[in-house]
Amino acid sequence: MKKKTIIIIAVIAVAVILISSVVSGYNGLVEKQQELRSAASQIQTQLQRRADLIPNFVNTVKGYSDYEQKTYTAVTEARASVQSADSVEDQAEANEELNRAISIWVNAVTEAYPDLKANEQYLALTDELAGTENRIAVARKDYNDAAKEYNVSVKRFPKNIIAAIFDFDDADYFEAADGADTVPEVSFD
């Protein structure tokens, strides 16, 4: 009887160890799979950020550039009118136009738009584009790291047996699309 009890206890212990090993392996693979999905989601989040941000940012820069260009043009034209005016009356009228243009320009620059400089806007756009692309690159790298960890778990013994039983397939790595080595064009037209 003692021998039978010892054998039963040994069989139960082996079964418990095997079951807990399978459960642990399965849970580990599920965790890695979810980390992989989260990393893939981060890529999508950053791509959406770029899709949302860049057109709005480009339009903002275009708006500031157009406003600044129109203001400078008005001041320049008014100044030229003053210089080319023949009569006192023409000079007075041209001077008044120059005063209005300067007033608009000064008020815009000093009150409403203290940092209204197109070159700074373009630099900010460049920085924002670079930052967005860097975030996407980091998200892609994180995804590939998660894919590597997941794939190693799926292939490593004894989890490879559990992965085969429960259909855990290898994850694809993120690879650049054809033509990704072509520099994207940003247009302000």
pLDDT in tens, 113-165: 555 555 676 677 778 778 888 888 888 889 889 999 999 999 999 888 988 99
| pTM score | 0.60
* 154 touches 105 (CB < 8 A): no
* 90 touches 59 (CB < 8 A): no
DSSP state of 166: T
Domains and CATH numbers, the chain: 13-165 (1.10.287)
pLDDT in tens, 82-113: 677 776 667 667 767 766 776 666 665 555 55
* 61 touches 94 (CB < 8 A): no
Q: Which residues contact residue 172 at a Cβ distance below 8 angstroms, ignoring those fewer than 6 apart?
A: 147
Determine the pLDDT at residue 31. 92
**pLDDT tier for residue 65 given thresholds of 50, 70 and 90:** low
pLDDT of residue 16 exceeding 90: yes
